[in-house]
Amino acid sequence: MLGKMLIHGLVAAALIGSAAAAYAQAKDNGYLPAPAPAVQSAKPDAAKADNGYLRPAAADLRGRHDDHHDRAVRSDRDRERHDRKRDHDDDDD
């Protein structure tokens, strides 16, 4: 019985993991709605105003840049933590 339950759990993990990966991919590609307005309003008005600067395409604005901004807004401490992790990997031992 325990063996079967273990397999059921792994199958469920595979299904949920696939759905989660599809969700993450859809969000990256811009198929899903944009994130909260608080993040979008942080974008400079230069994108809208005609001040002589080149304006990036709308898809680029909604795409990866928002994700990077989200991650920056979310927690700089986390980034430092993960940078420290990567530093360990870069060590020449």
Partner 1 sequence: MSPKLQHHLLKLWHAWIAGGYLVAYVTADEDTYDMHLFAGYAVLAAIAVRLLAGLIAPSTSPWRLPRPGFRSSLAWLAARKGRNPLFAWFAAALLAIIGLAALSGAFADGAAWLEDPHEAVSEASLWVIFGHIAFVTFMYGGKRLLARLTDRFSDFRPLRAKEQSR
Q: Which stretch binds partner 1 (CB under 8 A): 12-20, 44-52, 53-61?
A: 12-20
Q: Which stretch binds partner 1 (CB under 8 A): 24-32, 45-53, 57-65?
A: 24-32
Q: Is there a contact between 40 and 34 (Cβ–Cβ < 8 Å)?
A: yes
Contacts of partner 1 in 52-91 (CB under 8 A) = 71, 74-75, 77-79, 82
Point out which residues bind partner 1 (CB under 8 A).
Answer: 1-2, 5, 8-17, 19-21, 23-24, 27-28, 71, 74-75, 77-79, 82
